[in-house]
Structure 1
Amino acid sequence: MGDTQALDVARLGAQGDGVADTASGPVFVPFALPGERVQADVRGERGRLIAIMTASPDRIAPVCRHFTHCGGCAVQHIRMPAYLAWKREMVVAAFAARGIDAPIAHVASVGLGARRRAAFSARRTGRGVVLGFHEAKGVDIVDVQECPVTASAIVRALPGLRRLAEPLMSRRAPGRVVVTLAANGLDVAIEDVPGDPPPEVREFLAREAAALKLARLTISGDTLYQATVPAVRFGTANVVLPARSFLQAAPAAEAEMVRLVTQAVGEARRVVDLFCGMGTITFPLAQRAPVLAVDGDKQAVAALQSAAKRTPGLKPIEAKLRDLFREPLSARELLGFDAAVFDPPRAGAATQAALLAESSVKTIAAVSCNPATLARDARILLDGGYKLERVTPIDQFLYSPHIEAVAVFRR
């Protein structure tokens, strides 16, 4: 047992915990809100909420029965204005840490049911297979019956997904069931499966996949069942979805990113799209200008190239396979481009940003899922002579501590 204390919560931390300042340092209390006085069991810098003595006027009832037990969401219990202010402050703080007084816009947020991709964990237990997300503060899997942030088509499929997972899961280690709502159906990938399923199990899975009307079912990367080729729409292009490929989680957030980037690029005559993936931004850009699209993912680049050949009415797209972490585009290679877009993984693109800072590109639009690395890359560009025009936070992962952003730079 820890020490039971009455704490006054001052603010929300980066992970959504309430933070109380005490004589021995900050104490982080999950599910407590700023302005609340709470009773908590304190162990070091962590506190377990026992009771709310004085509730915040921003406290509301959560939208999901699993909240506080399931670790998928951190902050369903706060009114939307306070929630969005917290999300925006994360971006403000990240830029401030790099000495940047950034023009941060209001947060663009998605609604309930917006998420088209969910990565569930699954494990066999004495009561059958559990399928869901890990506990908020534990290692067990919460067997979810609902998920208000996820697309209803995925939630409706949960019972069938359990049937698919049942013959594949072990008690020793959890597997993963990744579900994507493509434009033409559900694409299900089951990963971390022990061994190769025997023929009778494969036949059972194919029957279940057909009964669920899945577009595709893959097991450890191998296609076991396919009724149609899963595809997504980027601009006017219909792009075939490779197995294990990256896709923005919420179409509404993706659309806002594309809008902000295309607006920033404007009437540029030639654009380079760095870390282009399957062409999320490439295809909308190519409706206006020729695009060089570069990425290190072989499957993604192949999907982009194939879709470009099939899509009429676009300006020329040149797709290039290249690891931009090991071999970023040089300032010389960037000659002739009016605008550049980069959308790297969470680690950011410091080396590529440094070479962009040496270039003559007039406009840069940076898309990021990590405000800290975005701010670091922004510092590099600013030191290279660019001006930061605006930063727009995008709340793609509703009720989570994650925040995306689009930043626009001009020279």
Structure 2
Amino acid sequence: MNHKVTINEIGGRGDGLAEVDGKTIYIPYTVPGDVIDAKIQGSKGKLRHIHQKSTERAEPICKHFGKCGGCLLQHINADYYKNWKEGLIRTALAHQGSKDADIAPIKVSPMGSRRRTTFQAIGRGNGNIVFGYAEKGSHNLIDVFECPILAPELVALIGPIKKLISGILDKKEKMSVSLTLAENGIDMMLKGKGDPSLNLRMDLAEFAEKHDLARISWFDTKLKKGQYELLAERKKPYVTFEGNKVYFPSGSFLQATQQGQDALINAMLDGIGDASKVVDLFSGCGTFSIAAANSSNVHAVENNEEMLTALKLSANQMTGIKKVTTELRDLFKRPLLPHELNEFDAAIIDPPRAGAKHQMEEIIKSDIQKLVMISCNPITFSRDVQSLIDAGFEMGAVTPVDQFLYAPHLEIVSVFTR
């Protein structure tokens, strides 16, 4: 049954919120001030018709918007969007008790700057496939031909990849294709069931040559403990952190845009200042370690052996940087303890979405005077922040960094001093 409702605000996940019979209803692709008809089921609504458009509405920039679940917020004007994104962190902090936090202006990555993505593909029979992204809240795939957020080099490969894999997927067979734009070419990773045939291996090697790819790897999803198998490497893909090259392995985590990465690095460098010994917790392949090593001795701790090895090898080849040491360690199970942390003047921590509750407890017990915290989750960030503030740390300005355009994700960086 359709209900006529007015949208009041946009929630933390990007849906418009309306009140119906005292209940909050979540309706995607709506804007505060919209008067609409919505089909309501439980707490979810589906936009059926707009009676009156909000003044905050904007024209979406992609023809897939509304079907493809990658973007939820292209229909909102730029000022409202920025305020909403900054509001995500402001609200999360206020819920934990930090009502007067200093929120710096958001740093938004430009269009066409996203340098990594994963496409999904499914066979439809007779050599046809659907290749693209899932619909919002569904496993249903939407065939995509464009994406204004992605780097143009990645968009240019959509057509050729479709052509390449359309003949190899049987009906209902699935595959994912991850692309990362390195500074010397594209790194392409395919995930599928079983071992690629000799023909497919030859086709992929030819594809790498024709499209000047840096590397192609394969991941067999049938194996319990799978790993990437190198099928073609024409050049070792690398990225640079503060002018230092890091060659990264297949499947590495990199910040989604160069601009986002640089904004986080600059905030981190300001934060550690002249610290001579720095520990980098959840270091990955060295986004912050390598940048910090221009002026500080750095100890990088990470649980992914391949990424840590890449960091180590890259650091060993660099000239003009300080000493970089590495440690393979699961910081969820074995956080660094106070006596280990006390060797350092400053710490950098960039945990996964779940945050790093146990490691924070040990930092609080240590003598560390300065902590740079990077987070991709305003809720766990705010929780960890409150425990730091309660322990006597002072929070500097919180800088939101938006490298996931039109999605409810947000990177945050802030500096804490005891």
Structure 1 match to 2:54:
56
Q: Quick one: which of 221, 231, 234 aligns to 1:227?
A: 234
Structure 2 match to 1:38:
36
Structure 2 match to 1:80:
78
Query: Does residue 1:106 correspond to 2:105, yes or no?
Result: yes
Instruction: Give yes or no for contact 2:124–2:172 (8 Å, CA) kept in 1.
Output: no
- 2:397 match: secondary structure: strand
Q: Quick one: which of 252, 261, 274 aligns to 1:254?
A: 261
Instruction: Give yes or no for contact 1:169–1:194 (8 Å, CA) kept in 2.
Output: no
CA–CA distance in structure 2, aligned partners of residues 169 and 230 of structure 1: 28
Matches within 5 A, 1:273-312: 273-312=280-319
Deviation of residue 4 (structure 1)?
Answer: 0.7
Cα distance per residue 1:225-248 (max 9 Å; x no partner): 111111111123211110111111
Query: Does residue 1:333 correspond to 2:331, yes or no?
Result: no
Matches within 5 A, 1:93-242: 93-101=91-99, 102-126=101-125, 128-191=128-191, 193-220=192-219, 221-242=228-249
Cα distance per residue 1:243-266 (max 9 Å; x no partner): 111111111101000000101111
Instruction: Give yes or no for contact 2:396–2:415 (8 Å, CA) kept in 1.
Output: yes
Deviation of residue 173 (structure 1)?
Answer: 4.4
Deviation of residue 167 (structure 1)?
Answer: 4.3
Q: Quick one: which of 387, 391, 403 aligns to 2:394?
A: 387
- 2:296 match: secondary structure: coil
Instruction: Give yes or no for contact 1:109–1:395 (8 Å, CA) kept in 2.
Output: yes
Cα distance per residue 1:181-235 (max 9 Å; x no partner): 01110100001x1221221222122212211211111111111111111111112
- 2:338 match: secondary structure: coil
CA–CA distance in structure 2, aligned partners of residues 137 and 347 of structure 1: 21
Instruction: Give yes or no for contact 2:128–2:167 (8 Å, CA) kept in 1.
Output: no
Instruction: Give yes or no for contact 1:168–1:197 (8 Å, CA) kept in 2.
Output: no
Query: For residue 54 of structure 1, what is the amino acid of its counterpart?
Result: Q
Structure 1 match to 2:67:
69
Deviation of residue 168 (structure 1)?
Answer: 4.2
CA–CA distance in structure 2, aligned partners of residues 208 and 52 of structure 1: 46
TM-score (norm 1): 0.96
Deviation of residue 375 (structure 1)?
Answer: 1.0
Query: For residue 372 of structure 2, what is the amino acid of its counterpart?
Result: A
Cα distance per residue 1:281-328 (max 9 Å; x no partner): 111111111111111110111011101111100011111111111111
Deviation of residue 359 (structure 1)?
Answer: 1.4
Deviation of residue 30 (structure 1)?
Answer: 0.9
RMSD: 1.3
Deviation of residue 114 (structure 1)?
Answer: 1.0
Deviation of residue 137 (structure 1)?
Answer: 4.3
TM-score (norm 2): 0.95
Query: Does residue 1:271 correspond to 2:278, yes or no?
Result: yes
Instruction: Give yes or no for contact 2:205–2:232 (8 Å, CA) kept in 1.
Output: yes
Tell me the matched-pair count.
Answer: 408
CA–CA distance in structure 1, aligned partners of residues 185 and 145 of structure 2: 21
CA–CA distance in structure 2, aligned partners of residues 151 and 98 of structure 1: 37
Instruction: Give yes or no for contact 1:167–1:201 (8 Å, CA) kept in 2.
Output: no
Which 4+ runs in 1 deviate beyond 4 A? none
Structure 2 match to 1:25:
23
Deviation of residue 17 (structure 1)?
Answer: 1.0
Query: For residue 369 of structure 1, what is the amino acid of its counterpart?
Result: C
Instruction: Give yes or no for contact 1:165–1:190 (8 Å, CA) kept in 2.
Output: no
